[in-house]
């Protein structure tokens, strides 16, 4: 199970540029390494990351095997309205995991 550490402001002024950061605790195994028995370790990476603000996509990224373990993503957005900032990421296993945080815009 992938765990996410999300850092976004709890409050912002309308029109303010806010920084949003996410770190996904994930091994990002490329599939090129071998284990102790000489057998290849299966590939297990996060392929896609999407962030939405009240359902509207504000950031997305396609990730590849060259990304290090525990990917860290930081980006900015303009605070337009209060609501939910939602994060979703999909891995090789096809499972989508999510996290959310609330922001109040005054």
Q: Mind listing the pLDDT tens digit for each residue in 8-46?
A: 999 999 999 999 999 999 999 999 999 999 999 999 999
Domains of the chain: 4-32+41-105 (2.60.40.10)
Q: For 37-41, which contacts have Cβ atoms below 8 Å and span 24 or more sequence positions? A: none
Measured CA to CA in angstroms, residue 81 lies from 10, 20, 87 at distances of 12, 15, 17
Q: How confident is the model at residue 2 (pLDDT cuts 50, 70, 90)?
A: confident
What was the pLDDT predicted at 95?
A: 92
Q: Is the pLDDT of residue 1 over 60?
A: no
Average pLDDT, the chain: 95
Q: Read off φ and ψ for residue 88, nearest 5 degrees.
A: -140, 140
Q: What is the DSSP code (8-state) at residue 14?
A: T
pLDDT band (50, 70, 90) for residue 3: confident
Distance CA 7, CA 95 (A): 23
């Amino acid at each position: 199970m992938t765990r996410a550490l999300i850092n976004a402001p709890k409050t912002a002024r309308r029109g303010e540029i806010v920084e949003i950061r996410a770190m996904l605790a994930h091994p990002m195994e490329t599939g090129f390494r071998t284990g102790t028995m000489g057998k290849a370790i299966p590939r297990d990476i996060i392929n896609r990351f999407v962030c939405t603000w009240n359902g509207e996509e504000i950031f997305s990224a396609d990730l590849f095997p060259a990304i290090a373990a525990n990917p860290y993503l930081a980006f900015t957005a303009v605070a337009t309205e209060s609501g939910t900032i939602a994060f979703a990421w999909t891995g090789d296993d096809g499972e989508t995991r999510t996290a959310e945080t609330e922001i109040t815009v005054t």
